[in-house]
């Protein structure tokens, strides 16, 4: 066996799993982690550089993660405990103590439809300011109120949006400074909510998902006939031959696979295999492959297939997937919402997706999904500030490819 390859195998690149009962044979750095309440097993790869935790079914992630992070050293190469605390805070800031310069924001909703925003200062001297959203929201509210019954009024609630810090403080009169800060934070929140609710999302809130316009199914070059797994494997072999010869562009095999995925019908196993294969063609398939995977992500009825399409979008690494994934943050399946947040965290690079993530995390009821949304928001915000992301950015396959060797 080649010596460098043998060293990689012995270093644990293939991964090693430990349970609390294995603490006597585990690396010293994992002893505290294995002793953490709620941990069922720990899987490590590449000399403990990649650590995967499995919790007991009865344990909750919000209770397991903080002590687990502390047992790993408090986040020297992971999240800091402060960052972890922020991610674990679901549904707004739990700290109700006013903070100097911090403007408290609340959002009034009814049946998840935003109605108005309220901003309050930190001293109590400046009355809270409220502002309604644009006419788009007013029209949507009118349509909801036309429904039979009083569900619209029963569904009203004020949601805590946490603190906002304004740059309007200039060291002048304290009351004037506070009033400017409140007004500035209110305007910023209004703009953020507007960006988080495009017309398509408002229509879905009023009429349900049927109101969302789905792309028409493109015609398939292979017709509507079913394709067997054997035929599919042959097509993949043909494409592999093109790749081996370093030929670029959309060959006939990829064209057929893209057309098959675009039909969103046929055997489930065949569609899943096709979607996953297209995800591995980054740099070769172009718009035809990207559009086919997007179509599956939006239109497949099975949540598992939409999730597979999300995996493929992540693997393709095309930044155009970020706003598409942001629109799926309210998908009916928590699995798809979780995958959508991962995509946005990997590829998102603008304020609009930040607004969508912040709103979605506030509304999310599943802890794991809300955690992923907040972590994605943290990553995108770091990129917007020009800060280097710990562990790299983009899909995992790209991070592995770009990691310095040696």
Q: For 352, left (φ over 0), alpha (ψ -120 to 50), or beta?
A: alpha
The DSSP H or E segment spanning 31 is helix 31-34
Segment 130-144, tens digit of pLDDT: 999 888 888 888 887
The yes or no reply on domain 3-88 and CATH 3.40.190.10 is: no
Domain 229-402 class in CATH: mainly alpha
Lowest mean pLDDT among 64-68, 217-221, 223-227, 319-323: 217-221
pLDDT (tens digit, 9 = 90+) per residue, 246-295? 666 667 778 888 888 888 777 787 888 889 888 888 888 788 889 999 99
Residue ranges covered by each domain of the chain: 3-88, 102-211, 229-402
pTM of the predicted protein model? 0.57
CB 176 within 8 A of CB 125: no
Quote the CA–CA distance of 119 and 58 in Å, as a whole number. 39
Residues 6+ apart with CB under 8 A from 225: none
What DSSP character marks residue 225?
A: -
pLDDT reported for residue 339:
93
pLDDT at 46: 62
Asked if 297 and 256 touch (Cβ cutoff 8 Å), the reply is no
Asked if the model's pLDDT at residue 86 lies above 70, the reply is: no
What's the rounded Cα separation, in Å, for the pair 119 and 231?
A: 61
Task: Return the SS3 of 223.
Answer: coil
Which two three-digit tokens encode residue 320?
Answer: 């155009």
* DSSP collapsed to 3 states, 288-307: HHHHHHHHHHHHCCCHHHHH
Q: Compute the mean pLDDT over every residue in the chain, rounded to the nearest whole number.
A: 76
**DSSP H or E segment with residue 63:** helix 61-71
Q: How confident is the model at residue 194 (pLDDT cuts 50, 70, 90)?
A: confident
Burial annotation 175-191 (CB, 10 A radius, 16+ → b, else e): eebbbbbbbbbbbbbbe
Q: Largest Cα–Cα distance in the chain?
A: 76
Report residue 5's pLDDT band, with 50, 70 and 90 as the boundaries.
Answer: very low
């Amino acid at each position: 066996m080649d010596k460098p390859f043998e060293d990689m195998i012995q270093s644990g690149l293939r991964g090693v799993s430990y349970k609390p009962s294995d603490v006597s044979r585990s690396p010293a750095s994992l002893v505290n982690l294995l002793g953490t309440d709620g941990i069922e097993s720990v899987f490590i790869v590449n000399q403990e550089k990649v650590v995967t935790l499995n919790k007991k079914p009865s344990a909750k992630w919000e209770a397991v993660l903080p002590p687990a992070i502390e047992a790993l050293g408090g986040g020297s190469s992971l999240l800091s405990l402060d960052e972890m605390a922020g991610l674990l805070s679901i549904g707004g800031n739990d700290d109700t103590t006013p903070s100097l310069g911090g403007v408290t924001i609340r959002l009034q909703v009814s049946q998840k439809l935003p109605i108005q925003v309220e901003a309050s200062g930190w001293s109590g001297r400046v009355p809270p300011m409220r502002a309604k959203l644009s006419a788009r929201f007013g029209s949507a509210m009118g349509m909801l109120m036309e429904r039979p019954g009083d569900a619209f009024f029963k569904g009203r609630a004020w949601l805590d949006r946490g603190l906002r810090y304004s740059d309007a403080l200039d060291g002048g009169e304290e009351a004037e400074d506070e009033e400017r800060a409140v007004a500035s934070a209110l305007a910023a929140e209004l703009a953020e909510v507007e960006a988080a609710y495009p017309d398509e999302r408002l229509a879905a809130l009023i009429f349900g998902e049927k109101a969302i316009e789905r792309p028409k199914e493109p015609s398939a070059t292979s017709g509507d006939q079913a394709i067997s797994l054997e035929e599919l494997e042959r097509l993949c072999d043909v494409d592999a031959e093109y790749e081996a010869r370093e030929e670029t562009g959309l060959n006939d095999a990829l064209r057929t696979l893209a057309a098959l995925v675009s039909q969103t019908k046929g055997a489930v196993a065949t569609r899943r295999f096709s979607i996953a294969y297209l995800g591995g063609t980054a740099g070769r398939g172009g718009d035809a492959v990207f559009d086919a995977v997007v179509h599956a992500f939006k239109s497949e009825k099975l949540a598992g297939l939409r999730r597979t399409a999300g995996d493929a979008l992540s693997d393709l690494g095309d930044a155009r997937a970020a706003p598409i994934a942001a629109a799926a943050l309210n998908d009916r399946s928590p699995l798809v919402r979780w995958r959508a947040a991962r995509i946005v965290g990997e590829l998102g690079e603008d304020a609009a997706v930040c607004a969508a993530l912040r709103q979605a995390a506030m509304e999310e009821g599943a802890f794991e999904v809300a955690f992923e949304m907040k972590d994605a928001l943290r990553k995108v915000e770091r990129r917007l500030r020009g800060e280097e992301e710990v562990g790299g950015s983009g899909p995992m396959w790209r991070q592995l490819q770009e990691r310095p060797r040696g």
